[in-house]
Structure 1
Amino acid sequence: MITISTPVTRLLGIRLPVIQAGMSWASSSSALPLAVSRSGGLGVVAAGPMRLDDLARVLDETAAGTDLPWGVNLPLYRTGSDEVIDLLLARRPPVLIASQGGPRRYLERFRDAGTVCLHVVAGAEHARKAADAGVDGLVVVGAEAGGHPPPAMVTTQVLVRAVVSAVPEVPVIASGGIADGAGLAAMLALGAGAAQFGTRFLATWEATVHSDYKAAVLAAGVEDTRTIGHGLGVVRAIGNEFTERMERLEETAAALDVRRKEFQRASLKDAALHGRVREGKVEAGQSAGLVDAILPAAEVVERIVTEYRTALTRLPSPAVHSET
């Protein structure tokens, strides 16, 4: 059994530096998180779109399904977030990954409950503030990521180096544009202690999204995602009829309320649950172009480890020459 030990794996108590992103609808169930955690990584339940009773059921299923660490992702801006926090405190998940809000709102209570607290950041300044608040670790999301990329659209490679340099004392998880073991090796070389994989785990048997959504991810190339919704909360999604309409409105400087109406007409739920991949928000990262098969999540983790080891063998060793 292979172990890759890093500050992040030691913090979380996992065997491999492979974190499955909490993805609304795709991991708003126990199947994908359990498969990843059982394989040595960290599986993450996406609490964002879930009703309280559904979330309680999934948390109980996940806790009963493994003795290994797992996590919950909570966007703090979601409706009813205070009630969700109360539910999570009662269930005591091993790991919390919070985003879209300040850590002081939740940190002390979860720490008292014994939960490891990770916070999502999109820049060195926010990373420093989260570190000063006392978070246990950071998830650094770069521009290549699906869903909500950072407003400044700084790439993962640059952003990870900036954050690692700004807060060297805090374990960092890199996210955005990472789909394989070579990407994991690159992020560890930059100073991260793990990589978060989102789009790669969309294309798995266990991801609870519509088959047409998975097919759209497989069909996409690295140039086929679009960032739309500028001024409204940017998302990265695979190009379709919806993104084309949004791009036209943005290019012609349509009024904000006009763009907002069009932006809100489409939803991730339409695409993810109902398969409306022409009209819905098919959120995915640029790494969709690196995904070529729908696989069991355990096989994805196994492949990442194999590719990581292969990547290491390709790195040249420095030659030392004696001076004459």
Structure 2
Amino acid sequence: MKIRTPATDLLGIDLPIVQAGMSWASSASALPLAVSSAGGLGVVAAGPMRLPDLSRVLDEVEHGTDRPFAVNLPLYRRGADEVMDLLVARRPRVLIASQGGPRRYLSRFRDVGTICLHVVTGVEHAVKAAEAGVDGLVVVGAEAGGHPAPNQVSTLVVVRAVAAAVPQLPVIASGGFADGAGLAAALALGAGAVQFGTRFLLSAEANVHRAYQESVLRAGIDGTRLVGRDLGPVRALANEFVERMVKLEENGADLEARRAEFTRSTLRMAAHEGDVVHGKVEAGQSAGLIDSILPAGQIVRLLAEEYAATLGRLPQPE
């Protein structure tokens, strides 16, 4: 099956399905390789990776498929400039950059032919990224896991607003999507593809501790909280860390007290070590829509099949 949109044309993929660049979960080759091989866009998450590990994973994905894949780079990470040096030398087909401005990287990657997508959470930054010359946008709403929009505007609203503000750019919608019905909804809003995070977090190839996956699998749609106001907020499952942060925020604790608690807990604790009590168990609200851990290639195929079935159920004008 193929579903053609401006985003699939830009990226050279068969289906408008993008696997989110999730630290640890896709900081290895298995998940992005499976998604790209199935016709979507797999994404290597460079955020927590050392340079030798990143180079090795890029080799593994390049040798494992001839289909396009992307690298996600959070620009705030320590050593981001060194990572950019490595990536420019590797000439990735697609770069997805987040947590920073596009002018920092754009000319270097455009010079080597890389397609540059920039992550935004609102219209203002979308317009600025478009003016800077990016090739497309990943638009993240409040439902997303990890680092969603701090203003808590929903994906339904922000994607529609950005698509109207920068109609010349392909938009990839992110936050709250778990199935083919969500894919159909996003395309109806004006997006050209959907980025799925939590759905691929719950895949057989995700490079995370089983305890992390089981916690997310048990979660309902109301099982996450957005915490870390003024600190780069994260959406994570409710646990002891989240409860402590909520209490500090509700009691009006000063910034440094909140920062100390916020930085004491890490995603690594949950995703790599399996500490789902004290770690940041990052996940989106769509966790409550997912009831199975499946191979990533099967997830891609199901999303496409569900999309087609959704279109068939929609009422037609008389």
**What is the TM-score with the length of structure 2 in the denominator?**
0.99
- What is the CA–CA distance in structure 2 between the aligned matches of 1:298 and 1:265, rounded to whole Å? 36
Residue number in structure 2 paired with 1:88: 87
- What is the CA–CA distance in structure 2 between the aligned matches of 1:151 and 1:271, rounded to whole Å? 22
Residue number in structure 2 paired with 1:217: 216
- What is the CA–CA distance in structure 2 between the aligned matches of 1:157 and 1:259, rounded to whole Å? 31
Structure (1 or 2) with the larger CA radius of gyration: 1
Describe the superposition over 1:211-259 as per-residue Cα deviations: whole angstroms up to 9, x where unpaired: 0000011000000000011111100000011101111111111121111
What's the CA shift for 1:166?
0.3
Residue number in structure 2 paired with 1:70: 69
Where do residues 179-198 of structure 1 align in structure 2 (5 Å cutoff)? Answer: 179-198=178-197
Percentage of identical aligned residues: 69
Residue 158 of structure 1 pairs with residue 157 of structure 2:
yes
Residue 22 of structure 1 pairs with residue 21 of structure 2:
yes
Deviation beyond 2 Å, 4+ runs, structure 1? none
Match of 1:54, as an amino acid?
A: D
Residue 171 of structure 1 pairs with residue 165 of structure 2:
no
What's the CA shift for 1:111?
1.0
**What is the TM-score with the length of structure 1 in the denominator?**
0.97
Stretch moving more, 82-91 or 255-264: 255-264
Match of 2:284, as an amino acid?
A: G
What's the CA shift for 1:5?
0.2
Where do residues 1-324 of structure 1 align in structure 2 (5 Å cutoff)? Answer: 2-319=1-318
- What is the CA–CA distance in structure 2 between the aligned matches of 1:252 and 1:129, rounded to whole Å? 36
Match of 2:100, as an amino acid?
A: G
What's the CA shift for 1:151?
1.7
Task: Give secondary structure in 1 for the equivalent of 2:18.
Answer: strand
- What is the CA–CA distance in structure 2 between the aligned matches of 1:265 and 1:117, rounded to whole Å? 33
What's the CA shift for 1:190?
0.3
Match of 1:273, as an amino acid?
A: H
- What is the CA–CA distance in structure 1 between the aligned matches of 2:102 and 2:164, rounded to whole Å? 21
- What is the CA–CA distance in structure 2 between the aligned matches of 1:125 and 1:254, rounded to whole Å? 30
Task: Give secondary structure in 1 for the equivalent of 2:117.
Answer: strand
Task: Give secondary structure in 2 for the equivalent of 1:270.
Answer: helix
Please give the root-mean-square deviation of Cα atoms over the aligned residues, in Å.
0.6
- What is the CA–CA distance in structure 2 between the aligned matches of 1:108 and 1:243, rounded to whole Å? 40
- What is the CA–CA distance in structure 1 between the aligned matches of 2:148 and 2:100, rounded to whole Å? 15
Please, which runs of 5 or more residues in structure 2 have no aligned partner?
A: none
Describe the superposition over 1:135-186 as per-residue Cα deviations: whole angstroms up to 9, x where unpaired: 0000000000000011211100100010000000000000000000000000
